[in-house]
Structure formats: C-alpha cells, structure tokens
Chain A
Amino acid sequence: MELKGLGSKTREKIRRIVGSDNCSDRPEDLYLYAFDAMNRRFLPEMVAHPADASQISSILKLANADGFPVVPRGAGTGLTGGSLPVAGGLILTTSRLNRIIGIDRENMTAWVESGVINGDLQAEVEKQSLFFPPDPSSAKFSTLGGNAAENAGGSRAVKYGVTRDYVMALEVVMPTGEIIHTGSAAMKSVTGYDLTRLLVGSEGTLGVITRLLLKLIPKPQAVGSMLTSFPEVRQACMAVTNIMTSRIVPSTLEFMDRSAIDCVKDYLDLEIPSEAAALLLIEVDGPPGVVEDQVAILENVCREAGAILFQTASTPEERESLWKARRSISPAIMKIRPLKINEDVAVPRMKIPDLIQGVEEIAGKRDVRIVNFGHAGDGNVHVNLLIDPEDKDEVARAHTALEDLFKLTVSLGGSLTGEHGIGIAKAPFMYLEVDKDTMDVMRRIKRALDPNNILNPHKTFDYEPDIADREIRAPDA
C-alpha cells in the first residue's frame, strides 16, 4: 500500500479518537516533535498524545485503513533518530501513559506504563529497598518504554545487564492494531516464542509498547567508588582484565582515554597525574564489609597493573567528585567543537586496546578530533567525533572516519551499537555487521507483522538513502 499524507478526514478521525486537546497539527507543535536527541529535524503532519492502549489500537487500525505512517515516541531522547518522523505522518507519544501501576515488593516486580520516566521508577522502588538496575545516562529524562524499545544499556550493565534482562512481560499494540500480551509474571516461562525479546530492541518498528512488567532486585546496601589512572592504555586494559578475573564483578567499570582526560581536567576537584593516558572509574556494591574488602583487593589489582593514582570515596560527596570526571566530559568537549557525533560501538572486552589504538590511527589519518570514553567493563566504548557543523570539510572527514570506525569495530568481532540502536544514524552501515540472509529474516518478520509498513518506516534495515532530502533546513539567508 502506498502511504499518503494525512487528509483532513483522517485528521478529524484522529481528533475523535484522542480528543482535540490531545492532538495538534499547528505548525508550532509540529516543530516541537520534529526532533529527538539525534538533533535532526523531520516534520510530522500531526502529533497525538493517546491515553491508553485502546486509543493507540484505534489509531493504528486507522493508519492501516487510511495509509499513513505512525512513529511512536517516548521522551524523544534517543541518539540515533529512532523517533524521527522521516516519512511524515503521525507522531504518537506515550507522555500520558505515565503511571507506575504497582510495585510488588514480595515478588520483586513492577508493572508500569511505558511513558514512566526510568529515574522516577528507580526512586520509587528504592524507597522499598528494591533496585531497577538499567541506568542509561538519560535515566532521569527517558521513558521505560523508550528504554525497552531501544534496549538501553548504561554503566551498570557490566554487572547487571541491560534493559532486556529486566523485562518480563509486555502489553503491546501491534502495527495492525491488536493488543497483545507477551511473557509472564512467572520467573520461569518458556511458553511459545519469546516475543518479549523480539520486541525489546525493535526500535518501535514492530509494535507500540504500552505496559511493561519489570524485574527488580534487592537494593545493594553499600557502594564503593574508586578512580584510578594509568600511564598507558594497555595497562588500564590489563587492569580491566585482571579485575574481571579476580572473582569480583564491579557494578561500574568506566574508561576514559587521554583526550577525554585532557578535556575534563579543569573541571575536577582532584589532581590527575599529567602522564595519565587512561582513567578508570570503578564501583563495587554489596554488603558494607564485603565492599570494603573488594575495594582493597581492587586497589592491589590496579597497582599491580601500573596505576599511578588510586582514589576512593567514602562519602556521597566524595563519590560525586569522582563521578564528576565522567559527567564533565559532555560539557567539556562542547568547548572544543560545537557538535559531537557520539558513537557507541561495542567490542569483546579484550579488544578494547586494539579499538582505542585503531581509533587513534583513524583520528590521525582523517584529521578529526576524537574523544573516547565509555563502559570498559562490557566493551562498549563511546567514540566521540568532535566537529564544527559549519566546517563542511571537517564534516566530510568525520563521516569518512565514521565508516573507518565501523569497519574496524566489525573486524574486531564487535557491534555497531551497544546501546543506542540503529535508527537512521547507523542504518547505512548495518550491512557491515549483519549478513544478507540474516537481514532478510528481519525484513520478513517486519513484513509479516506490519504488512502495510506503517509503523516507524525507513528505520534500521528499511533505510532509504534519500530520506535526508526530507530534513528541515534553515532557508538560505
């Protein structure tokens, strides 16, 4: 079926479904939902804020009947354009699906609506000494539905895993409008296909998640934080390996390379040795006595690997000052160049030194400033290409560097994206990692579930190179 623009009759039907206060096609509102955190703009034709699954179901049935694209949107904080309306159509937000339905303390689960902010759930369950581990850096402003759709990670993944590991069951509106229920509230359930896992990480192309049953764990009693630096990247990587084989699983194991350290130096309360080429931020959690012992063991491990600094924190304020090193990176690199292309490639943990070395070579060859930091514990490294969008030549060099980076990553047995998703940002490179037959299976699944291709079209494997032509640009002055 050929997708069309939204006609006036269709718009009227949408108004009737969600109520005229909960949808808009005024130009101001279209510009408000034209972007996400990828910071590109594609204009939708209408925005709707439905109240529940049944309204979403009606909208999707209408979309199939009248032929218009529907793009689900949580908080619009994705970094790869997953919620951009690249083909126009309707933006469908989950902002009104914002209730924590219930926290079951005994079974350690929580039912939530998909528009609940991750950080709000974390705060709520922690009041009951429970813990929701998935903690992407956007946790305070991204939705759980969005986290699930993108299968978000974060810095606790090294010990606790990613969003997918905490989703037990889903209520989903299918592209054709049926409301389905996947998974089970039972800890163990192997009834039928694992549709929960299929939908988590499907980037809003296979269904609109409306409710989630999330697994919770007991809240760790204590946290021990450490900051350590090394004169060589190789030594930091050795420390990472030795930590992981020391029978201690850190809850955080973050890495920063020299360029990242140089960026944040001025922001920190503590002195970083000038010869530091790599920095590790490490945390362990558990019962207080155990945490203390583990910190002592990790100090030995790091010193043996050649650490020239080892700082621990015993108060929340001290912990914050250690984390400042990691949190200051974004504002610091904005001072070097106005724009960063934030990649999130992942490699097997032991390949991090090869990745960092390869990236340095790319940066030199393509003459692009690159800053690396990220989740060393799980091999997920944020490679940041710093560019000035006004400098067309630099932009072009950065795009070449990006292609080099993806080829390098795949050659190391890695993955294009550890936690941000493919969206439109990485779609042109997906072929590097996924072979033709595998990609074809994905296409067949999409076609089977969304025969009219109305839900979030032109994302991931469905990428069309010319969508950039639809992007809103400033008129020439």
Chain B
Amino acid sequence: MHRENRTGVTFDAASSCVKCGTCQAVCPVFGARAVESSGARGKMALIEAVSQTLIQETGHYREYLETCLLCGACDEACPSNVPTLDIMLRAREKMASGVGMKTGKSLILNHLLGAAKTFNLAVRTGRTLQGLMFRRVPASSGLRRRFPLPLIAGDRTVPKLARHFFTDRFHGLVMKGDGPRVGIFAGCMTNYFYPEMGEGMIGLVAATGASVAVPGKQVCCGMPALTGGARGTVRDLAVQNLGVFEKYELDCIVTGCATCGGNLKDNYGPLLKEAGIPEDRIDGFVSKILDINEFLFQAGPAVQVHGEKVQGAQALKVTYHHPCHLGRLQEVRDEPIALIESMAGVQLVPMEEADRCCGMGGSFSIEHYDISKEVNDRKVKNIVASGAQAVVTSCPACILHIRDGLIRNGHGEIEVLHVTDLISARLGNQRSTFKVQGLRFNGVKQVIGKAGST
C-alpha cells in the first residue's frame, strides 16, 4: 500500500479516479451487491459530483457512502494510486459536519464515546442487562438476541460483555522486567469483550522479559468516530491517550487490535498535530506503536513454542485470516504467519482470499448486517474449505464477526483465535518454557507496583 504522507488528502482528490473499475474486483461489498454504489469507483463519482455541487449530500448519497467496510482493498489495488480510503473518510467528515449524522449515531460518536466515564457506565449497564436481552446459543459462548434491539440484528451472535473489563482488572498494572518498557493499549473490544485475550498478551509480553504497564485511564482509540466523520471526537481521544501513555516513559506501546493499531499509527499523527501538540511529543507516542505480532516476532525465541513440527493428524490445523487493518493498513502480514509457522504441533494450512475482509467493518456490521453477512459467508466458505480446525487472526473485531459467521453457517466447531490466544494456549502446555517470575498463565499474580497518575 502506498501510504506515504497522506495528511494533505482532500475530498476533491476523488476526481483523480479514472473509473477503470479495477477496485470492483477486490471490493467485498461489490462482490455481494454488484451495483456501482457499492464499489470505490462509484463512490468516487458521487463524491466528485458533490464536490462539483451537482448533487446534494442528502438522501442516498449518505447511504451509499456508508456502504463501505473501509477495508482498503480498493486503495491497495488502484492502478492510479487514488487514496480512496482517505477520500472516503474526508467525505464522511464533510457530510457529518454539513447535513449531520443520524441522531442516535451522532449521540454516540460525538458525546458518549468522547466522555470516557459515561461511556464506561453505558457499557456496564449493557452488561447488567444482557442476561435479559440475549439467550444462550448452543455450541458457542456468544449470545443471540432475545428481544428486538434497535442496533443488533436478530440472527446475529455477539459475545457476552465480560464480567470484569480488562482495564478494571489491570488498571495501572506495572510489572518490572529487565527488558524494554512496554505499554499495553487494550482497545474497546479487548476491554469489554475479550479481556482474557488482553491478559494473555500481558503474559506473553512479560515472558519476553519486558516490563509491562497498563496505563489505567486509556480510552477508545476513536476509530468508530473517525469512520463516522466525527473527527473532533477522535482528536480529543487522541490527546487523552497521549497524555495517559506519556506518563509511563515507555519504549513501545503494544496493541492486539488491528484497528486500534492502524488508527494509532496512521491517524494519530495528523490528529494530534491538529490539536496543537508539539512534534516531539507526537513522535514520542506514534513512533512507539507496535502490533503485538510485530513485538513478539522481534522478541524471538522467548515466546516460541518449542518442540517437533508435526503434520497431518497429530497437528492442530489452523488457517490465518489477515485483518484488513493489520495486513493492508499496517503491512503486518509476514509476522503472524512466521509466529504460527514456528510453533510446534501446529500446521498452518492456506486459505483462499485470506486477506479479503470478513465483513465486520465496525459499525458497518450493525448498520448493514445483511451485506455484512454475505461478505462473512464468503469468508466462512473459504475457512471451511481450508480444512482448518481453527482460524487464527489478529483482531478482536474479526474474531467476533467470524465466530458469528461460523455459528450461523453451522460450523461452530471451528475455533476462532487471536494469534496470542494460540501462542498462550500452546505455551501453557509447556509450562517449563513459560515461567516468568511466578506468573500464572490464567491470571497475573506478579503485581510489583502501580505507577502513573492513578
């Protein structure tokens, strides 16, 4: 992907699209719908027409602009290097500031998400109520809806909100090691739905000998607001996160969420600059962001699962799904593959279209679940065809959506794991190599001290 300096991308850049149609071959939404409004070329045509004041930003323009997973496949495939992804974001921003967002969405993105305490409270309330609203589905830990809810489709399986949120449990945690000082950026999905994944991540980072810190007052990275056009909200969140992480004097900041990582690496620079933060402080934050795969790959043998490589029936057969925001946005493709391939007892089997979007796209899957499902079905078909017992990926959002798709298609027996889940589980079987200062795999015991402003 050609992601060199795109901060200057404007809405008008849409006119540089020559309408060749290459993007349609890779667009997951076009694959499901095959109408011009679903592909990048069509969207560029509409954005161009708006910028030339030929059409208004109302009515179907809004709907069409929202019918995009922001997976970036078009951006990567474009022979004319049109920065479609950035143009889309700019267009959504312009639309949000002009004709405005839908009321509910605006409330969440402009007010709730920006106010960490209120947002946390809202999610907590959700956790209390979820028993009433969802019924358990067999063969999975996910939930299916019991009563009609405005946001979530009736046939959709969503995971339970965790009993204890990640940041509640590890708020301000600092573990001293001999290695670099590593901060953990959890992200909302890990925090509210998959805290055990975050916990595994702490264990793995600690296993490399690094010091680990979980800055307590970290907030949402802001991606849902950015894709919804609420740039102001994201700017505020970026400033908050910068302030929280700065206090820990970290060598690097690691996240296990592809989307958060992509946002922190790509968008925080320009956003913090807009907020008037000096260059050196911005650089001190943004340049330290690493995806957990990059970190573990660099860490090397400490987190390797040793032993004999086996094939066939003895091996755990896994396949890998490249999250769009990790593979395409961050160009982190080889690291997770190398980590999985190096593991004893695990056989990586290829999957067709491994880097095609799973159909999640954040709020897209809520607003357009019908399309989201169709895109997901194609992913499920490819997973099943690979013959894998588990699909490994590196983004909690993909995990949620792929699990939903597998269950919906009657393949709940196929496990969906984060790379760190897989490594942690395999290392857990080899406790001798996975012993860090008395750290238990299923619960961090070694809390040496708390630091930061908490």
Interface residues of A (CB under 8 A from B): 26-29, 31-39, 49, 75-77, 95-96, 98, 115, 117, 119, 138, 140-142, 330-331, 334-335, 338-339, 472, 474-475
Contacts and interface: CB of A to CB of B under 8 A. Distances in A.
B16 A141 contact: no
B297 interface: no
Contacts of B80: 330-331, 334
Contacts of B152: none
B60 A39 contact: no
A395 B20 CA distance: 20
B19 interface: yes
A335 B35 CA distance: 30
B45 A32 contact: yes
B54 A31 contact: yes
A418 B22 CA distance: 21
A158 B347 CA distance: 43
A26 B25 contact: no
Interface string B1-31: 0000000000000001011111011000000
Given A32-B37, A95-B35, A141 B60 contact: no
A33 B36 contact: yes
B19 A28 contact: no
B49 to A, nearest CB: 5
B287 interface: no
B34 A98 contact: yes
A142 B55 contact: no
Given A32-B35, A33-B36, 16 more contacts: A31-B46, A32-B36, A32-B45, A75-B21, A76-B19, A77-B21, A95-B35, A115-B34, A138-B20, A138-B21, A140-B25, A141-B22, A141-B25, A331-B81, A334-B80, A475-B54
B79 interface: yes
Interface of B: 16, 18-22, 24-25, 34-37, 42, 45-46, 49, 52-55, 59-61, 64, 79-81
Nearest to B352: A123
Contacts of B52: 474-475
A36 B19 contact: yes
A37 B18 contact: yes
Given A28-B46, A331-B80, A39 B19 contact: yes
- 9 shortest interchain CB distances as A-B pairs: A140-B25, A32-B36, A474-B52, A77-B21, A330-B79, A141-B25, A28-B60, A95-B34, A31-B49
Contacts of B35: 32, 49, 95
A338 B79 CA distance: 12
B352 to A, nearest CB: 10
Nearest to A37: B20
26 contacts: A26-B59, A28-B59, A28-B60, A31-B45, A31-B46, A32-B36, A32-B42, A32-B45, A32-B46, A34-B45, A37-B21, A39-B18, A75-B24, A95-B34, A96-B34, A138-B20, A138-B21, A138-B22, A140-B22, A141-B21, A141-B22, A334-B79, A334-B80, A335-B81, A472-B54, A474-B54
Nearest to A473: B52
A34 B79 CA distance: 22
A29 B19 contact: no
A33 B37 CA distance: 9
Nearest to A34: B45
Nearest to B62: A28
Contacts of A335: 81
Contacts of A27: 55
Nearest to B44: A35
Contacts of A98: 34
A138 B46 CA distance: 23
A80 B45 CA distance: 18
Contacts of B46: 28, 31-32
A169 to B, nearest CB: 25
Given A77-B21, A95-B35, A475-B54, A35 B79 contact: no
Contacts of A338: 16
A117 B52 CA distance: 32
B135 to A, nearest CB: 33
Contacts of B25: 117, 119, 140-141
Contacts of A49: 35
Contacts of A36: 19
User: Which of A39, A98, A141, A474 has the most CB atoms of chain B within a 10 A radius of its CB?
Assistant: A141
Of the listed residues B25, B53, B60, B61, the one surrounded by the most CB atoms of chain A closer than 10 A to its CB is B25
A71 to B, nearest CB: 14
A43 to B, nearest CB: 9
Contacts of B20: 37, 77, 138
Contacts of A334: 79-81
A76 B64 contact: no
Nearest to B56: A27
Nearest to A143: B34
Contacts of A474: 52, 54
Contacts of A26: 59-60
A150 to B, nearest CB: 14
Contacts of B55: 27-28, 31
A472 B55 CA distance: 12
Nearest to A31: B49
Contacts of B34: 95-96, 98, 115
A77 to B, nearest CB: 4
Contacts of A32: 35-37, 42, 45-46, 64
A141 B21 CA distance: 7
